[in-house]
C-alpha cells in the first residue's frame, strides 16, 4: 500500500505532461493508475460470481434429475445436455417459445428504434410548443410501474378475443420513453444543428431531413438502442405471463411454466433456462462492447 | 466523427433530389388549377405547415403508445379499483366505492406484503449499490482487457429473471443445493432458504443483487470517468491517499448518480415480482408457505389472477403507485436539500 502511494504522484505527473496538450480536462478518475494484483484478484472474484451460475446451469442441464438430487452437486459436465435440450424444446414448448420471442422482440426492436429516433430527434433539435413539458412527461412515464396497466389491458384483450395472441405483448411496447430519451441525449451532441438548417435552406422537407441527415448521424446510437431493446423485450416478464399461456408462449412464459412444475425434471428445467438465455449470451459475446458502451452512455444523463 | 462526415455529404444530395422534384410537384399543382409557385403559394404553405406539424408527428407514436397502453389503462385501473370485478364473471362490474381499499387496509396480507417489499428492497438495494461503487472503482483503473472485464460483469444482466431464478432455486435447495453444500464445507449447518423468514428473503434478494450489480457498476463507472482529474491532482497535492481521494473526491462527485441509481433501484424494488414468484415454485404467488417473501407485486398477481379478484388487484396496483409518488416527493426534497448545501 505504502509503496503504491509513493509512486502515484510521480506517475500522474508524467502522464499529465504527455496528455495535457491532447486532452485538457476530463480524464478518468483513476485512469492514470495501473491496477495492482489486488485489483485483479477482487475483479476475478466478481467475474467468477457473475459467471458461475451460468456455467452451473450448463452443468446441471447436462446431468439427470436423479443426479441433481444427490449431494454433493455435480461440478463438471455430464452427457445428457442434448437429450435434455430436446425434451425442453419439445415438451416444455421452448421451440415455439423461441420462435415467438424472436418475432416479438424483433418487431418491438425495429419499431422502438424507429419511433424513438424520430421522437428523440424532435426533442433534441426541433423547436415546438410545449416541447419542454412533453419531454418532462416522457421522462416521468418511466416511473409508472407496469402493474398499473395490466388489469385493463387484460380485460380489453379478452374483449377483443386476443387472449394468447402475440400482438397483445407487442403493441404496448412499440415505443419506449427510455428509447426516446436515449436518442435525444445522443442527437443533442452528435447532430450539428447547422446540418439541419443547411438542408432546410435547400428546401428539404422534414422527412427528407430525417432520412438524409438524422438517420446517418444517429446510426451508432440506433444500433445500441436496438441491442438494449432486444434484451429488454426478450426478458420482459410481467405482462407476457398474464397475457399468454403455455399454448402459445414466449420464452419467459415457457420458463415460468417450467418453474411451476410443467415438466418436473430439474435437468430439463436447467436445459430450458440455458436455451432461453443462449441467444442473449451470443449477442453479448458478439456485441458486448457496444452494449456496455450503450449502458454507460445512457447513464451520463444522471 | 465519421457519422458527421457522412451526414455532411448528404445535404447536397438531398438538395439535388429536392430540386429534381420541383417541376413534378409544380406541374401537379398547376394541373389542379392553383397559381404558379411564389411566396405564399401552395408549396411554401405546405413547407411552413411541414415545419410546424412535423415535430408533433415525430413524437406522436410515443404518445399514442403511452396513452393507449399506459395512461388510459392507469385511469381505468383506478376505475376498476372502485368496482367489484371478478375474473370468473367479467360482465358484471358493480360499483363498490372504497370497499377494495378498506379491504386492503384491514388485510394482514397487504401489510405483510408491504413490509416484505420494504425489507427485500433494502436487503437487495443497499449491498448491491455499495458493491457496484466498489466494482466501478476497480474497473476505473487502467486494466488489461478492460472491455472484457466490463462485459463479464454485465453477463448476469443478459439472464432473464425467470432463467436466473430457476437456477438459484436449485442452488439454494435444502439438500443437494450447491450453496448449502459449500457452507457445509466451511462448517456451517445447512440453511433452509425456502422456508425461513430471513433466509428466503436473503435468497430472493441475492438474485436481484446478482443480476443488477454489474449494470449499476457500469453506470457509476461512466460517472467516475467524467470527474475532472484536477480534483484528484489537488487532492494528492494536499497529501490525500487513494482511500481519502475515494471518500473525499469520488463519492461527493458521484452524488447525483448515486441518487439516480437509488431512485431507479427503488422503483424496481417496489415492483419486484418475477424473482419471488419463481422462487416459490408451484405455489409461487403466495410467496412461501408463510407468505414470508410475498411482495406487493406478487400479492397483486395472486389476488388478481390466482384468486380472481381483479378489482382488489387494481386497488393494490394503485397503492403501489401512491407509494412511488411518495418516494418521488421525498427524493425531490432530498435533492433540493443537497443542492442547497
Mean pLDDT in chain A?
84
- Contacts with B, A 195-214, CB within 8 Å: 195, 198-199, 202-213
* Closest by Cα among B19, B200, B176, B220 to B124: B200
The alpha carbon of residue A212 is apart from the nearest alpha carbon of chain B, in Å, by 6
- DSSP state, B71? I
Question: CA separation (Å) from A170 to A251, B38, B208?
Answer: 14, 47, 26
The percentage of chain B sitting over the pLDDT mark of 70, rounded to a whole number, equals 88
Contact (CB<8Å) B54/A219: no
Position B239 scores a pLDDT of: 85
Considering only CB atoms, B7 lies closest to which of A26, A213, A272, namely A213
pLDDT surpasses 60 at B10? no
The dihedrals phi and psi of B68, each to the nearest 5 degrees, come to: -75, -35
A-chain residues near B178 (CB < 8 A): 56, 73
| Helices (H) then strands (E): counts for chain B | 15, 2
Under 8 Å between Cβ of B264 and B121: no
Give residue limits of the domains in chain A. Answer: 88-299
The percentage of chain B sitting over the pLDDT mark of 90, rounded to a whole number, equals 49
* Closest by Cα among B10, B40, B37 to B21: B37
Contact (CB<8Å) B159/A219: no
pLDDT surpasses 90 at A167? yes
Tens of pLDDT, residues A175-218: 999 999 999 989 998 888 888 888 888 888 888 899 999 999 99
Separation CA A295–CA A287 (nearest Å): 13
- Contacts with B, A 77-106, CB within 8 Å: none
pLDDT surpasses 60 at A25? no
pLDDT surpasses 50 at B297? yes
Contact (CB<8Å) B178/A56: yes
Residue of B nearest to A5 (CA): B241
Q: Which residue has the cell 418453474?
A: A259
**Residue B2 pLDDT class (50, 70, 90 cuts):** very low
Length of chain B as a residue count: 341
CATH architecture of B108-340: Orthogonal Bundle (1.10)
The alpha carbon of residue A152 is apart from the nearest alpha carbon of chain B, in Å, by 5
The alpha carbon of residue B257 is apart from the nearest alpha carbon of chain A, in Å, by 5
The alpha carbon of residue A280 is apart from the nearest alpha carbon of chain B, in Å, by 6
CB B185: neighbour CB atoms within 10 A?
Answer: 9
pLDDT surpasses 70 at A293? yes
The dihedrals phi and psi of B92, each to the nearest 5 degrees, come to: -100, 110
pLDDT surpasses 90 at B296? yes
* Interchain CB contact of A296 with B (< 8 Å): yes
* Interchain CB contact of A167 with B (< 8 Å): no
Residue A2's Cβ-count burial label (10 Å; 0-12, 13-18, 19+) is: exposed
Contact (CB<8Å) B151/A284: yes
Contact (CB<8Å) B63/A71: no
* Closest by Cα among A248, A279, A269 to A87: A269
Contact (CB<8Å) A277/B158: yes
Contact (CB<8Å) A152/B80: yes
Contact (CB<8Å) B149/A209: no
* Interchain CB contact of A69 with B (< 8 Å): yes
Residue B243's Cβ-count burial label (10 Å; 0-12, 13-18, 19+) is: exposed
* Closest by Cα among B214, B202, B212, B304 to B267: B212
Position B11 scores a pLDDT of: 39
| Helices (H) then strands (E): counts for chain A | 15, 0
Considering only CB atoms, A252 lies closest to which of B47, B63, B160, namely B160
Residue of B nearest to A67 (CA): B176
Under 8 Å between Cβ of A275 and A89: yes
Contact (CB<8Å) B139/A31: no
The alpha carbon of residue B130 is apart from the nearest alpha carbon of chain A, in Å, by 14
Separation CA B303–CA B281 (nearest Å): 17
Task: Choose the weakest-confidence range: A139-143, B71-75, B81-85, B131-135.
Answer: A139-143
pLDDT surpasses 70 at A27? no
Contact (CB<8Å) B17/A209: no
Contact (CB<8Å) A73/B80: no
**Residue A300 pLDDT class (50, 70, 90 cuts):** low
Contact (CB<8Å) A299/B72: no
* Closest by Cα among A43, A23, A48 to B140: A43
**Residue A32 pLDDT class (50, 70, 90 cuts):** low
* Interchain CB contact of A126 with B (< 8 Å): yes
- DSSP state, A129? T
Separation CA B126–CA B265 (nearest Å): 9
Contact (CB<8Å) B13/A34: no
Who's near B148: CB < 8 A, 6+ residues apart?
Answer: none
The alpha carbon of residue A30 is apart from the nearest alpha carbon of chain B, in Å, by 5
Chains A & B: contacts with CB separation below 8 Å: 392
Contact (CB<8Å) B155/A284: yes
Average pLDDT over residues A266-283: 93
**Residue A295 pLDDT class (50, 70, 90 cuts):** confident
Average pLDDT over residues B209-230: 93
To the nearest 10°, the Cα dihedral for A237, A242, A246, A250? Answer: -30
B202 SS3 class: helix
Contact (CB<8Å) B18/A204: yes
A-chain residues near B305 (CB < 8 A): 242
Contact (CB<8Å) B142/A51: no
Considering only CB atoms, A213 lies closest to which of B11, B50, B281, namely B11
Length of chain A as a residue count: 302
Residue of A nearest to B327 (CA): A143
Position B281 scores a pLDDT of: 82
Q: Which residue has the cell 428509447?
A: A179
B-chain residues near A131 (CB < 8 A): 55
Position B36 scores a pLDDT of: 47
pLDDT surpasses 80 at A7? no
Tens of pLDDT, residues B108-143: 999 999 999 999 999 999 999 999 999 999 999 888
Residue of A nearest to B43 (CA): A203
Tens of pLDDT, residues A96-142: 999 999 999 999 999 999 999 999 999 999 988 899 999 999 988 88
Separation CA B220–CA B253 (nearest Å): 11
Position A31 scores a pLDDT of: 47
The fold for domain A88-299 equals: MetI-like fold (1.10.3720)
Under 8 Å between Cβ of A109 and A233: yes
**Residue A21 pLDDT class (50, 70, 90 cuts):** very low
pLDDT surpasses 80 at B311? yes
* Closest by Cα among B320, B122, B265, B299 to B205: B122
The dihedrals phi and psi of A166, each to the nearest 5 degrees, come to: -65, -25
* Interchain CB contact of A272 with B (< 8 Å): yes
Q: Which residue has the higher pLDDT, B10 or A88?
A: A88
Contact (CB<8Å) A292/B214: no
Q: ipTM beyond 0.90?
A: no
Q: Which residue has the higher pLDDT, A235 or B44?
A: A235
Separation CA B205–CA B129 (nearest Å): 13
Under 8 Å between Cβ of A194 and A138: no
Q: Which residue has the higher pLDDT, B80 or B338?
A: B80
Considering only CB atoms, A299 lies closest to which of B142, B177, B222, namely B222
A-chain residues near B321 (CB < 8 A): 144-145, 148
Amino acid at each position: 500500500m505504502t509503496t503504491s502511494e509513493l509512486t502515484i504522484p510521480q506517475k500522474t505527473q508524467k502522464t499529465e505532461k504527455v496528455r495535457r496538450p491532447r486532452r485538457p480536462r476530463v480524464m478518468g478518475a483513476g485512469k492514470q493508475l495501473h491496477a495492482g494484483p489486488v485489483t485483479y484478484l477482487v475483479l476475478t472474484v466478481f467475474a467468477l460470481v457473475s459467471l458461475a451460475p451460468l456455467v452451473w446451469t450448463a452443468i446441471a442441464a447436462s446431468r439427470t434429475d436423479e443426479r441433481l438430487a444427490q449431494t454433493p452437486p455435480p461440478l463438471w459436465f455430464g452427457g445428457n445436455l442434448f437429450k435434455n435440450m430436446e425434451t425442453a424444446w419439445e415438451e416444455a414448448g421452448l421451440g415455439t417459445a423461441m420462435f415467438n420471442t424472436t418475432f416479438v422482440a424483433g418487431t418491438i426492436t425495429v419499431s422502438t428504434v424507429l419511433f424513438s429516433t424520430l421522437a428523440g430527434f424532435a426533442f433534441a433539435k426541433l423547436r415546438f410548443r410545449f416541447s419542454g413539458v412533453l419531454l418532462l412527461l416522457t421522462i416521468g412515464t418511466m416511473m409508472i410501474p407496469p402493474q398499473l396497466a395490466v388489469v385493463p389491458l387484460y380485460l380489453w384483450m379478452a374483449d377483443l378475443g386476443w387472449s394468447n395472441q402475440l400482438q397483445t405483448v407487442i403493441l404496448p411496447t412499440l415505443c419506449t420513453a427510455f428509447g426516446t430519451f436515449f436518442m435525444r441525449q445522443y442527437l443533442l451532441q452528435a447532430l450539428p444543428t447547422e446540418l439541419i438548417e443547411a438542408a432546410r435552406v435547400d428546401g428539404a422537407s422534414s422527412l427528407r431531413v430525417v432520412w438524409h441527415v438524422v438517420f446517418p448521424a444517429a446510426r451508432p446510437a440506433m444500433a445500441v438502442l436496438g441491442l438494449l431493446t432486444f434484451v429488454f423485450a426478450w426478458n420482459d416478464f410481467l405482462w407476457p405471463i398474464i397475457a399468454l399461456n403455455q399454448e402459445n408462449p414466449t420464452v419467459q412464459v415457457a420458463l415460468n411454466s417450467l418453474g411451476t412444475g410443467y415438466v418436473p425434471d430439474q435437468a430439463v428445467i436447467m436445459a430450458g433456462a440455458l436455451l432461453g438465455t443462449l441467444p442473449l449470451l451470443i449477442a453479448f459475446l458478439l456485441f458486448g462492447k457496444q452494449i456496455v458502451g450503450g449502458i454507460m452512455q445512457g447513464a451520463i444523463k444522471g | 466523427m465519421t457519422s458527421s462526415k457522412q451526414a455532411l455529404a448528404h445535404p447536397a444530395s438531398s438538395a439535388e433530389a429536392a430540386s429534381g422534384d420541383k417541376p413534378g410537384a409544380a406541374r401537379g399543382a398547376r394541373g389542379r388549377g392553383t397559381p404558379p409557385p411564389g411566396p405564399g403559394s401552395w408549396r411554401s404553405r405546405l413547407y411552413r405547415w411541414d415545419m410546424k406539424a412535423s415535430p408533433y408527428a415525430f413524437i406522436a407514436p410515443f404518445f399514442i403508445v403511452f396513452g393507449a397502453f399506459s395512461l388510459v389503462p392507469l385511469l381505468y385501473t383506478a376505475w376498476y379499483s372502485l368496482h367489484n370485478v371478478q375474473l370468473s364473471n367479467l360482465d358484471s362490474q358493480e360499483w363498490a366505492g372504497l370497499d377494495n381499499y378498506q379491504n386492503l387496509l384491514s388485510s394482514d396480507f397487504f401489510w405483510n406484503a408491504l413490509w416484505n417489499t420494504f425489507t427485500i428492497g433494502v436487503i437487495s438495494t443497499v449491498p448491491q449499490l455499495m458493491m457496484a461503487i466498489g466494482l466501478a472503482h476497480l474497473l476505473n483503473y487502467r486494466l488489461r482487457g478492460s472491455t472484457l472485464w466490463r462485459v463479464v460483469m454485465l453477463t448476469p444482466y443478459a439472464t432473464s429473471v425467470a432463467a436466473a431464478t430457476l437456477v438459484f432455486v436449485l442452488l439454494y435447495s435444502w439438500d443437494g443445493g450447491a450453496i448449502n453444500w459449500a457452507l457445509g464445507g466451511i462448517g456451517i449447518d445447512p440453511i433452509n432458504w425456502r422456508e425461513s423468514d430471513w433466509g428466503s428473503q436473503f435468497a430472493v434478494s441475492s438474485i436481484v443483487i446478482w443480476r443488477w450489480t454489474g449494470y449499476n457498476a457500469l453506470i457509476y463507472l461512466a460517472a467516475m470517468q467524467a470527474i475532472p482529474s484536477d480534483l484528484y491532482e489537488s487532492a494528492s497535492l494536499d497529501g490525500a491517499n487513494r482511500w481519502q481521494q475515494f471518500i473525499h473526491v469520488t463519492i461527493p462527485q458521484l452524488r447525483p448518480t448515486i441518487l439516480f441509481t437509488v431512485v431507479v433501484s427503488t422503483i424496481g424494488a417496489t415492483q419486484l415480482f418475477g424473482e419471488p414468484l419463481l422462487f416459490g415454485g408451484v405455489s409461487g404467488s403466495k410467496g412461501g408457505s408463510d407468505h414470508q417473501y410475498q411482495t406487493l407485486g406478487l400479492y397483486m398477481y395472486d389476488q388478481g389472477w390466482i384468486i380472481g379478484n381483479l378489482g382488489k388487484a387494481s386497488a393494490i396496483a394503485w397503492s403501489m403507485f401512491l407509494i412511488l409518488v411518495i418516494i418521488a416527493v421525498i427524493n425531490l426534497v432530498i435533492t433540493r436539500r443537497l443542492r442547497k448545501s
